[in-house]
Amino acid sequence: MEKNKLLPVSVADQPPKSQSYARRILSATFFVCLTLYAIKQLFREVVPHSHHRGLPDGVASKASCVQVPPLYPPVNDVKIGEMWEYIQTPAFRNASIVRHSGAVKIPTESFDNMGEVGEDKRWDIMYQFADYLEATFPRMHSDLKVEKVNTHGLLYTWQGSDESLKPLILMAHQDVVPVPASTVDAWTHPPFSGHYDGKFIWGRGASDCKNQLIAVMETIELFLAAGYEPKRTIVMSFGFDEEISGRRGAGHLAGFLHDRHGNNGVAAIVDEGAGFSTAWDQVFAIPGVGEKGYTDVYITVRMNGGHSSIPTDHTGIGVMSELVTMIEAEQYPTYLADENPMLGLLECGASHAPTFPKKLKKLLRKHSTKSQCKAKPDELALEAAKLGGRPVKYLMQTSQAVDVIEGGVKVNALPERTMVTVNHRINIGDTAETVFSHLTSLAKPVAEKYNLTLHAFDGTKEAASSISMYPSENTLEVAPVTPTNVDTITPYAILAGTTRAVYGDHIIVSPGMMTGNTDTRYYWPLTKHIFRYGPGYDPTWDKGLGNVHTVDERISVDNHLGMVKWFTLFVRNMDEAQLE
């Protein structure tokens, strides 16, 4: 294909007829989390192909890491077969490049200091993006129920024929992190050019996460063009401020959907997240089924001022520095709670990988947090952290980072107010209270030493002659962990079987863990089956997340097309599933 001949073919057009769906699909083999590059390959295991209703009986297992066979929906519609064939064609590839590139060209940046919707004009770019989606995916906007929540939140509902089936929610976000003006010259191609170089689409949002949003919409548009009628209702929910915690977008969308569907009223949710990596000589697919908690803690030291020519022995900055030094000197323990998905990933490595470290396997056999003394070091977690480095370590440890400091206003005046912000990502097994208690224990002797009153998480934000500590409003406890059993037909089993159908049965699907937080933080009451998963994969480009949040963000077109194929099978597999 010549890269300068990209024809904007609409997915609404009738796809061309081709070979049978069954014959072609049987031959198809095709941080997110921040830790994907820390894991090294697994070994090849081949299990038999399986059709949908045979899932529980066809699983293959080695020890505790059960692998679901490739899962295909039944072939019962000629147009759906032709649709699958069309996705494989150069015509669809060219059209998809144009669609995704066009989305990247719209600079839907969200900034930390954004004002409210309707007041801050920087939100208005979202109108342009919504117009682009409507022009690019006309069937979705004419055939589905389209609702706008808090002005820019986009909600598409495709009503299924069987109201007894819980709906499926597919998520993504419209916004992207800003591109600092000082970094524009460092980009190989301009950050909002959507440039296609024959392999990659370049630009901010190309891989975080307009690729997932466009892939979902391409899938649904294709289904509508093929006349597909789902039994299970499908909901597409697209926030617009995920990069600044999602309060205005997903926060409103989730509440809207909760009012409509209620507690546990949704079958499953798929949002952006972890994807594929290699470890111990084999490819892993690592959907994020867990997510760390979050809290920022603000610490303020208030002390008397005065002229710097007759200073006190310790200024507020000095006292704060002493406290910060103590905080950084005492890290939280590294340990694996039984519910931590990282434990499942290690079990998959031990079960399937010929080069899995022998010491790690030995420690894994005897690991049990339930019988382990809290004061005793977790040798398994420490060994895994030693081998995997910081990215792996922080899947098993509450992190702390002193990220912001303010103090003093003039060189000849003693500082009266000094403030720091400490960011925490909370480990599974810990709570926000774990953080608060730890910081209180460190601050107490410092306050006593300098005759300051300690206000630790008592509601007092600042007071004279004091050390005050209080959490941010967006404090978030550790997310509920998604069930990953595959002994029955579960959403995780459907996800795993779909992944192996699209990419090949050599893929090992394992539970994954997110160090960051996605928009799903607002959706917890809707379902216990939440997957933070980027299902696109390009075996020729296994370099993590494609420079997200930094210079030269990009996505390979093969990765994007794999995502379309995955959603195509996943939607149909979920529609056929008799979930337990």
Domain presence at residue 1: no
Q: What is the pLDDT of residues 356-383, one digit of tens each?
A: 999 999 999 988 655 455 568 999 999 9
Q: What's the CA gap between 330 and 348, in Å, rounded? A: 32
Q: Are residues 372 and 496 in the same domain?
A: no
Q: What is the pLDDT of residues 164-192, one digit of tens each?
A: 999 999 999 999 999 999 999 999 999 99
Domain presence at residue 157: yes
Q: What is the pLDDT of residues 477-532, one digit of tens each?
A: 999 999 999 999 999 999 999 999 999 999 999 999 988 889 999 999 999 999 99
Domain presence at residue 16: no
- From the list 109, 221, 242, 291, the catalytic residue is 242
Q: Annotate 116-156 with three-state secondary structure.
A: CCCCCHHHHHHHHHHHHHHHHCHHHHHHCEEEEECCCEEEE
124 is catalytic: no
* Pure H helices in 262-378: 316-329, 341-352, 358-365
Q: Are residues 377 and 456 in the same domain?
A: no
pLDDT of residue 39: 37
- From the list 175, 241, 347, 553, the catalytic residue is 175
Name the residue range of residue 263's domain: 21-288+484-576
| Listed residues 458, 478, 498: the one ending a domain | 478
Q: What is the pLDDT of residues 427-473, one digit of tens each?
A: 999 999 999 999 999 999 999 999 999 999 999 999 999 999 999 99
Residue 286 has pLDDT above 70, yes or no: yes
Q: Are residues 137 and 119 in the same domain?
A: yes
Domain presence at residue 407: yes
258 is in an annotated binding site: no
Q: Are residues 240 and 267 in the same domain?
A: yes
Instruction: Give one DSSP letter per residue of 496-551, joined into a string.
Output: HHHHHHHH-TTPEE--EEESS--GGGG-GGG-S-EEEE-----TT--STTSSTTST
CB 36 within 8 A of CB 274: yes
pLDDT of residue 489: 94
* Nearest residue to 140 via CA among 156, 129, 124, 120: 156
Residue 12 has pLDDT above 70, yes or no: no
For the residues 189-205, what does the mean pLDDT come to? 97
Domain presence at residue 364: yes
pLDDT of residue 370: 53
Look up the CATH number of the domain holding residue 466: 3.30.70.360
Domain presence at residue 429: yes
Q: Are residues 438 and 306 in the same domain?
A: yes
185 is catalytic: no
Work out the end-to-end distance of the chain between its first and last CA atoms, rounded to an integer number of angstroms: 45
pLDDT of residue 280: 81
For the residues 218-223, what does the mean pLDDT come to? 98
pLDDT of residue 381: 96
Q: Are residues 124 and 89 in the same domain?
A: yes
- Total domains in the chain come to 3
CB environment 266-299: b (16+ within 10 A), e (fewer) = bbbbbbbbbbbbbbbebbbbbbbbbbbbbbbbbb
Residue 83 has pLDDT above 70, yes or no: yes
Q: Are residues 88 and 175 in the same domain?
A: yes
Distance, C-alpha 479 to centroid of its chain: 12
Q: What is the pLDDT of residues 47-76, one digit of tens each?
A: 223 334 334 444 554 457 999 999 999 877
487 is in an annotated binding site: no
Q: Percent of the chain beyond pLDDT 90?
A: 80
Q: Percent of the chain beyond pLDDT 70?
A: 87
Read off the pTM.
Answer: 0.87
Q: Are residues 46 and 86 in the same domain?
A: yes
CB environment 126-158: b (16+ within 10 A), e (fewer) = beebbebbeebbebbeeebebeebbbbbbbbbb
Q: Are residues 206 and 347 in the same domain?
A: no
pLDDT band at 352 (very low <50, low <70, confident <90, very high): confident
Q: Are residues 162 and 303 in the same domain?
A: no
Domain presence at residue 9: no
Given the structure tokens 């390959």, which residue do they identify?
41
Q: Are residues 379 and 417 in the same domain?
A: no
Q: Are residues 498 and 366 in the same domain?
A: no
243 is in an annotated binding site: yes
Q: What is the CA radius of gyration of the chain?
A: 25
Look up the CATH number of the domain holding residue 62: 3.40.630.10
Residue 241 has pLDDT above 80, yes or no: yes
Q: What is the pLDDT of residues 94-113, one digit of tens each?
A: 999 999 999 999 999 999 99
Domain presence at residue 3: no
| Listed residues 478, 498, 532: the one ending a domain | 478
| Listed residues 478, 501, 517: the one ending a domain | 478
